[in-house]
Chains A and B, each alone.
Chain A
């Protein structure tokens, strides 16, 4: 295992106050925006039989002129159902159509789909998250502080701590905070450009953090930076090694690109690769511009903090 160490993983508050404040803010907001109740309308539809039926009905929904179902395995129908349940048009209007098949099971299914559609707007992820069909300017900010779960939040905060602490030394405080939000907006634009009618909202700070990563990569002037490694428990099998800073690209940004290109649309990766890439591109562009400006107008951009 190799990971960027930079200024360290657990940097002291005094050494990265803004980063720590952002982390605390994320935790506090998570406490208020995390969902505590199960989503029973989704649970009702997620039995094996109902998912097969949903897949078959989604096929009819998409292909209304066909009256014979293709020969597919139950797993295939379940996957197709997953795709259907992410399709906003199907979820909101699927119950209004007539379908061929077991009419009693279909009537029951329609009631459950209608209940699901009615419950979406009351879920916190949909209230605070960002998706293409809700016209809510505030969501462009709230989504960055909403997370899907504790593990999601902690992972993001850990990476924020590593890169945010490193970047904080290179930027002014107001600039740092503005960029956190701005990279989040860039991530949102990236997500919306590829979201189509996907129901699943965008949540999390990873778009902003991707921007921080690439911005740091462009601004870091040192040739080699610290990376932590762990191969085993014996001496010399763990420690710190100094490697070129550009290695962060294939370790972090390239997997996002690969994930985006290799994710099958019906499977739903659960990770908004397009958002990561949007934030990363914005961070890289800003970092590049700032670095050029720094070299042209060196004194105006002198950092608040001393270089290590």
Chain B
């Protein structure tokens, strides 16, 4: 209870027994607990629909409108209830129980007009959501907030213990708090209005609505055209990493629920690719895609995929997906001529240009036409999207770095530029590996902590690779064992394995380790170019260790399409020189690609 201390509080010159704040709060709480269930009962139907919309579509306009309607109705009923209580009894139920009354400030006993009661109730109700204006009760000498002052009223108590008004310190504190709060609210409101206006002016709201209403999968909206078989296109985009797994699954599901069975075989094929990690489901979906029509394009693709791993995926160029799979297969086998022919089909499809260009650049590089590859990469920088630019330049940079740090590293300069301009998170292992190797070559180059964070996030193989290759003070033996672990771990991504192998081979001391590695190459299932590089590296190392005959045996593992390569011929020549077979070595040194093509018929 308030105790009057004349030394602490200035005495209020008023005949009113001002109601204590705690009594007013308690009265308000009681009124709230009484009114809200009553209002809710009246609005139960509206609340039901609003709750449903909140669960189903919380960001929709329908929900916003429902919520606004419920809020306005609550405020309306609260105002109405208060007004009726004041007109009839000059008090609300809570005020009645706490022995509070609302009187005219002048002390007049005349009946107060209903419009004044309405004004008081209205202002009080609409201050509740804002809350801050009600704080004036704590600072005003007569505990009158806006609603009391506007209606010329005051809340008094019938109890003997009354309030003596706020202490000057209390008043000052509340005034300062209100000032700061309103300043902050004002500032952020203005900023918010400006931001929303900017969005509206640039058409962002309309664009979002169009995308959501017209297209099942937002990503597809950039690529699809009316002539396309949508699912066929979606599968290729998924394989080229242009759309997500969820997007492809959504497209497939949409096809399932269409009347008729027109696209269901494509839908099953799409679902097969979505569930590729699960061998059993993958095969089930592939089999299902053949149930409607055995001669359909998806069925032909499925039949090829269901065969053993050694079978080829060719002759499927009637569809985009078939062309894509054939293209990838031919590249992995080193059959570049056929791959280049198919690439023309794929370049015509929206969304695949960057991907195909990337592959063509790599083909040029693999043909040992290095300058052409880098030139094409320069051109591709104009057309390709950010992710593809980084991937291509990372791959080329890593290849260039094999020739040593002193060589010209144009692709690495391009890669570094692309990284600086990147706006999307970096998640590619290839880019991560290239970044680490480039940093080893250029120690002064700064790597953004944000980039490293993006690469490390949930990518354990990259983290391990980075630890092994970035540790400055570690010994060669420790680096070698770290790299060996990366090479031997079966579950690790192919590119990490390849990069680790390339860097591990020069550190090998015993021929037996090389033998084991070369034997395991087949099980790594790397693309033919990577296999070729690793075999050459192992051959060089075997020669270095003095095992020229072993080195020659290793060269038999080189894939056929690389047998015309200059680097291969030079390596074989070196091995033959080690065995003192100088004539044969000379013939390999002088071999030309044209001669090889005549001899081999390729």
Contacts and interface: CB of A to CB of B under 8 A. Distances in A.
Nearest to B20: A236
A73 B56 contact: yes
A101 B97 CA distance: 64
A76 B60 CA distance: 13
A79 B55 contact: yes
B56 A104 contact: no
Interface string A178-207: 000000000000000000000000000000
Contacts of B49: 264
Given A2-B33, A264-B48, A100 B257 contact: yes
A103 B290 CA distance: 13
A243 B97 CA distance: 6
B267 A251 contact: no
B34 A247 contact: yes
B314 to A, nearest CB: 28
Interface in A217-242: 229, 231-232, 234, 236-237, 241
Nearest to B25: A231
A229 B26 contact: yes
A56 B22 contact: no
B364 interface: no
A244 B96 CA distance: 11
A293 interface: no
Given A102-B271, A261-B45, A267-B55, A241 B256 contact: no
Nearest to B252: A102
Nearest to A229: B26
A251 to B, nearest CB: 6
Residue picked from B1, B49, B52, B267, most chain A C-beta under 10 Å: B52
B91 to A, nearest CB: 15
A218 B259 CA distance: 62
Interface stretch (B36-44, B484-492, B562-570): B36-44
B157 to A, nearest CB: 13
Interface in B349-373: none
A241 B25 CA distance: 13
B29 interface: yes
A237 B256 CA distance: 63
A164 B1 CA distance: 33
Nearest to A102: B256
B47 interface: yes
B57 interface: yes
Interface in B2-54: 20, 22, 25-26, 29-30, 33-34, 37-38, 40-41, 43-45, 47-49, 51-52
A52 to B, nearest CB: 8
Contacts of A102: 252-253, 256, 267-268, 271
Contacts of A75: 55-57
B284 interface: yes
A258 interface: yes
B98 interface: yes
Interface in A30-60: 49, 56
Contacts of A263: 48
A39 to B, nearest CB: 22
A216 B427 CA distance: 66
Given A69-B257, A231-B29, A262 B271 contact: no
A262 B47 contact: yes
A234 B25 CA distance: 13
Given A243-B30, A264-B48, A67 B41 contact: no
A257 interface: yes
B281 interface: yes
A105 B285 CA distance: 9
Contact of A258 (B44, B257, B281): B44
A82 B48 CA distance: 16
Residue picked from A2, A75, A236, A267, most chain B C-beta under 10 Å: A236
Interface string A91-109: 0000000001111110000
A64 B249 CA distance: 25
A250 B51 CA distance: 22
Nearest to B28: A231
Nearest to B271: A102
A1 B29 contact: yes
A15 interface: no
B378 interface: no
Contact of B30 (A247, A254, A257, A261): A247
A255 interface: yes
B37 A255 contact: yes
- If over half of A's interface residues share one DSSP class (helix, strand or loop), that class is named, otherwise mixed; here it is mixed
Contact of B45 (A101, A244, A251, A262): A262
Interface in B265-280: 267-268, 271
A237 B29 CA distance: 12
Contacts of A250: 33-34, 37-38
Contacts of B259: 67-68
Nearest to B34: A250
Contacts of B52: 79, 264, 266-267
A262 B44 contact: yes
A181 B33 CA distance: 30
Residue picked from A237, A241, A262, most chain B C-beta under 10 Å: A262
A104 B288 CA distance: 8
B26 A254 contact: no
B26 A241 contact: yes
Nearest to B40: A258
Contact of B51 (A1, A237, A262): A262
B160 to A, nearest CB: 15
A253 to B, nearest CB: 9
Contacts of B1: 236
Contacts of A266: 52
A56 B256 CA distance: 11
Contacts of A76: 56-57
A285 B300 CA distance: 75
Contacts of B55: 75, 79, 267
B40 A262 contact: yes
A241 B267 CA distance: 68
Contacts of A101: 253, 256-257
A76 B249 CA distance: 18
Nearest to B93: A247
Given A79-B55, A101-B257, A262 B48 contact: yes
A127 B43 CA distance: 38
A10 to B, nearest CB: 23
Contacts of B20: 236
A77 B330 CA distance: 43
Nearest to A74: B250
A100 B253 CA distance: 11
Nearest to B287: A104
Nearest to A241: B26
Contacts of B51: 262, 264, 267
9 contacts: A2-B30, A56-B257, A67-B259, A75-B55, A76-B56, A231-B22, A234-B22, A258-B40, A258-B44
Given A231-B22, A250-B34, A254-B37, 13 more contacts: A49-B249, A76-B56, A76-B57, A100-B257, A102-B253, A231-B26, A232-B22, A236-B1, A244-B97, A247-B34, A250-B38, A262-B43, A266-B52
Interface of B: 1, 20, 22, 25-26, 29-30, 33-34, 37-38, 40-41, 43-45, 47-49, 51-52, 55-57, 97-98, 249, 252-253, 256-259, 267-268, 271, 281, 284-285, 288
Per CB-CB distance, the 6 closest pairs between chain A and chain B, nearest first, are: A261-B44, A254-B37, A262-B44, A262-B47, A258-B40, A69-B257
